[in-house]
């Protein structure tokens, strides 16, 4: 092949002749198609224990098993763009209940476990029933995994091991991973589900261990579910002694060009405009390319020397200086710092003709703007309602117009990403915000919901949209909606009408107050703080509306009268106070605890310690307030008179004692 000279005006015919030869070579070669496998995807179902024991604390943290595991799941589960469908099944309260609280779908992990915010664990835990319910959600066409979060085995008389064995036969490759909360070693009746399905079992005796175990379990499950092999170029038969896609080692010096979206992203299968210049540096405006062609990828013979490659795809560009060697093909991969947006415009405007008949439909026009550019000049304009846009990484405003109808959306494009963007012209945009002052500042955590009338649903309404953003925007069909904003236990609802192609901004006024509680509970015998459970009661009628096991919790509530109760330790020590909160008020309350500490011991007639004790302490009304098998138990009790029974290897020892607020008393029983 002759040496390729740099293009110049008086060599135009020679350059164009080379272009035609190269184009013919590429056409004869017919580039092969991408043979990469699709992303693995799959389904991950979280089966969550909602039995009463989940209110127990985990050492090393300030939250209960329920709170720690909820937070860890929200952080660990994948986001909506991962391709993994996640779901949530809760089992309990009681042996006959297991609920699909989040059907499996591709969503952010925090949204999958969001229903746990309103969960109130209690009663027994039917682990087996929960796993069985999750089995009905699995997709036979995709890989599946189950993550079981529980603090003990099934206590409803069901055989978890038999169910796990059956599921492993019905769903090839299914793995059940388990995190045992509060456990320092596996329980066989619980661990068999993981063993029989070749999953992992993690013990988590402390709060940090629970967070780490849940994160690791999710990581292991996702590694099995989602395998994304790197794209490989397809092989094909040689045509005319050359290949169209792959380099031919016998063909001499050649240039092999491929393209992809973002580092590690998908290979480009759309035509790319390639321009090759015979230049040792960036060509000038007057320089002509020696090759200008539209192909996703190709290989072409090229003389040894320096070249400058330009590539463009949509609004994305790429440029690089390369040197073609004589010993092996020179490969250039154009990595576009861009992403793909699959655009879909629904609906359009049709004017009404005389007589009420539909008139001609107005054309649809799509405009894309750089969000940082205030000039109003679009980057591109398209008349196609269904479009695939390649955009550089960044933030863009996309607008669709049809007659008087208009809808606008903002989209974030990341390098290598692919996302869908729906622009419903038969819909409007509803933008919500809230004014909720507390203590001179605005509250920060909200949940917005949008509902419509539905007589077939409980309460007569059906939720159609939800967001926890500070000022969310919803694209909704034209109609009338109920909008609600909630912060903590306070909420407000309003009604709004939305027209097609219209933008409605609605600001809601939420009257809230915040209660922060601290209790001066004495430390336990090992100098650690006593576990505390706070209960917030609504007055008239009296009922518990919120609870927390944090050392110093905060409650966001509507203005009104409340009672806060702190239950300290595992016995009968309490502190309580009635309060009235006004709108916008931030109230800090310190609860005083009336209690004394007592240490118990028992000796024989000669003053020696007795072994094998079982203690039972009852109050003046005969109610048992404390049972323990410790040799010398110590703890807090409310002021009053108590009777104590101690069963030892040498018989029963009984006695009584009194304790006052602030006492630190040792009670010693002697066998008679």
* pLDDT single digits (tens) 443-479: 989 999 999 999 988 889 999 899 999 899 887 888 8
Average pLDDT value for residue range 546-567: 93
Q: What is the pLDDT of residue 582?
A: 96
pLDDT beyond 70 at 194: yes
Place 524 in a pLDDT band, splitting at 50, 70 and 90: low
pLDDT beyond 70 at 201: yes
Q: Please report which residue ranges of 595-668 form alpha helices under DSSP H.
A: none
Q: Record the pTM.
A: 0.41
Classified by CATH at the fold level, domain 596-670 comes out as: Immunoglobulin-like (2.60.40)
Q: What is the CA radius of gyration of the chain?
A: 35
Spatial contact of 434 and 508, defined as CB atoms under 8 Å apart: yes
Distances (CA, A) of 56 to 34, 119, 180, 532: 54, 15, 13, 10
Class of domain 339-349+363-425 (CATH, top level) = mainly beta
Identical fold for domains 42-225 and 431-508, yes or no, is no
Helices 127-135/160-170 angle, 10° precision: 10
Place 495 in a pLDDT band, splitting at 50, 70 and 90: very high
Place 251 in a pLDDT band, splitting at 50, 70 and 90: low
Average pLDDT value for residue range 540-552: 90
**Which of 223-227, 291-295, 329-333 shows the lowest mean pLDDT across its residues?**
223-227
Spatial contact of 4 and 278, defined as CB atoms under 8 Å apart: yes
Other C-beta atoms lying within 10 Å of the C-beta of residue 581: 19
Q: Please report which residue ranges of 59-119 form alpha helices under DSSP H.
A: 65-76, 109-112
Cα angle 293, 297, 299; round to 5: 85
Q: How many Å apart are CA 536 and CA 544, to the nearest integer?
A: 6
Share of the chain above pLDDT 90, in %: 38
Q: What is the pLDDT of residue 250?
A: 60
- Architecture in CATH of 431-508: Sandwich (2.60)
pLDDT beyond 50 at 22: no
Average pLDDT value for residue range 68-90: 89
Average pLDDT value for residue range 613-639: 90
CATH code: domain 9-37+234-336 is 2.60.40.1120
Place 521 in a pLDDT band, splitting at 50, 70 and 90: low
CATH code: domain 513-591 is 2.60.40.1120
**Which of 50-64, 180-194, 513-527 shows the lowest mean pLDDT across its residues?**
513-527
CATH code: domain 42-225 is 3.40.50.410
Q: What is the pLDDT of residue 363?
A: 61
Place 612 in a pLDDT band, splitting at 50, 70 and 90: low
Average pLDDT value for residue range 316-345: 90
Q: Please, what is the average pLDDT of the chain?
A: 82
Q: What is the pLDDT of residue 449?
A: 96
Domain locations in the chain?
9-37+234-336, 42-225, 339-349+363-425, 431-508, 513-591, 596-670
CA 79 to chain centre: 5
Query: What's 444's DSSP letter?
Result: -
Q: How many Å apart are CA 346 and CA 424, to the nearest integer?
A: 5
Better pLDDT: 538 or 56 = 538
Return the H-helix or E-strand segment holding 208: helix 207-225
Q: What is the pLDDT of residue 180?
A: 92
In this structure, are strands 84-91 and 98-105 parallel, antiparallel, or unpaired? Answer: antiparallel
pLDDT beyond 90 at 502: no
Q: What is the pLDDT of residue 39?
A: 40
């Amino acid at each position: 092949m002759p040496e390729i000279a740099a293009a110049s005006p008086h060599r135009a015919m020679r350059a164009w002749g080379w272009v035609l030869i190269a184009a013919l070579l590429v056409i004869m070669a017919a580039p092969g198609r991408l043979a990469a496998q699709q992303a693995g995807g799959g389904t991950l179902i979280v089966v969550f224990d909602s039995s009463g024991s989940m209110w127990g604390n985990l050492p090393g943290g300030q939250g209960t098993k329920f709170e720690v595991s909820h937070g860890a799941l929200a952080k660990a589960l994948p986001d909506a763009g991962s391709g993994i469908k996640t779901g949530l099944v809760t089992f309990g309260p009681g042996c006959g209940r297991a609920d699909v609280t989040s059907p499996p779908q591709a969503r952010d992990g925090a949204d999958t476990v969001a229903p746990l915010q309103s969960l109130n664990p209690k009663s027994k835990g039917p682990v087996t029933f929960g796993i069985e319910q999750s089995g009905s959600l699995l997709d036979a066409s995709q890989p599946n995994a189950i993550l079981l979060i529980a603090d003990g085995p099934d206590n409803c008389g069901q055989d978890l091991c038999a169910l796990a064995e059956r599921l492993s036969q019905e769903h090839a490759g299914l793995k059940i991973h388990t995190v045992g909360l509060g456990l320092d070693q596996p329980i066989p009746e619980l661990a068999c589900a993981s063993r029989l399905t070749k999953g992992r079992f993690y013990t988590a005796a402390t709060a940090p261990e629970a967070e780490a175990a849940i994160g690791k379990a999710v990581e292991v499950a996702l590694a099995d579910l989602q395998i994304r092999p790197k794209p490989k170029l397809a092989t094909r038969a040689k045509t005319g002694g050359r290949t169209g896609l792959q380099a031919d080692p016998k063909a001499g010096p050649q240039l092999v060009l491929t393209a992809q979206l973002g580092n590690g992203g998908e290979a480009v299968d759309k035509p790319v405009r390639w321009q090759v210049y015979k230049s040792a540096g960036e060509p000038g405006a007057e320089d002509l390319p020696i090759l200008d062609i539209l192909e996703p990828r190709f290989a072409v013979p090229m003389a040894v020397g320096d070249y400058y490659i330009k590539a463009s795809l949509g609004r994305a560009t790429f440029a690089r200086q390369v040197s073609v060697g004589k010993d092996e093909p020179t490969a250039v991969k154009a990595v576009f710092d861009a992403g793909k947006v699959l655009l879909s415009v629904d609906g359009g405007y049709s004017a009404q003709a005389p007589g009420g008949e539909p008139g001609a439909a107005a054309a649809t026009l799509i405009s894309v703007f750089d969000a940082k550019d205030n000039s109003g000049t679009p980057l591109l304009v398209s008349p196609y309602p269904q479009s695939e846009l390649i955009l550089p990484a960044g933030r863009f405003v996309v607008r669709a117009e049809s007659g008087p109808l208009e809808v606008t959306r903002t989209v974030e494009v990341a390098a290598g990403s692919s996302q869908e963007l729906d622009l419903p012209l038969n819909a409007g945009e509803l933008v919500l915000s809230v004014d909720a002052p507390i203590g001179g500042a605005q509250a920060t955590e909200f949940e917005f919901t949008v509902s419509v009338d539905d007589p077939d649903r409980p309460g007569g309404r059906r939720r159609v949209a939800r967001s926890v953003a500070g000022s969310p925007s919803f694209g909704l069909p034209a109609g009338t909606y109920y909008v609600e904003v909630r912060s903590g236990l306070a909420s407000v609802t309003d009604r709004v009408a939305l027209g097609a192609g219209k933008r409605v901004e609605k600001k809601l006024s939420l009257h809230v107050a915040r209660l922060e509680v601290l209790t001066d509970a004495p430390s336990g015998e090992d100098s650690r703080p006593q576990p505390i459970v706070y209960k917030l009661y609504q007055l008239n009628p009296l009922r518990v509306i919120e609870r927390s096991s944090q050392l110093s919790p905060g409650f966001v509530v509507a203005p009104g009268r409340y009672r806060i109760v702190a239950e300290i330790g595992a016995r009968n020590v309490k502190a309580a106070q009635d309060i009235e909160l006004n709108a916008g008020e931030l109230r800090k309350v310190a609860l005083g605890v009336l209690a004394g500490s007592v240490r118990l011991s028992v000796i024989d007639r000669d003053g020696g310690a007795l072994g094998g004790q079982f203690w039972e302490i009852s109050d003046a009304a005969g109610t048992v307030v404390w049972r323990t098998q410790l040799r010398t138990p110590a703890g807090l009790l409310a002021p009053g008179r108590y009777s104590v029974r101690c069963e030892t290897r040498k018989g029963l020892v009984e006695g009584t004692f009194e304790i006052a607020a602030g006492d630190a008393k040792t009670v010693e029983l002697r066998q008679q």
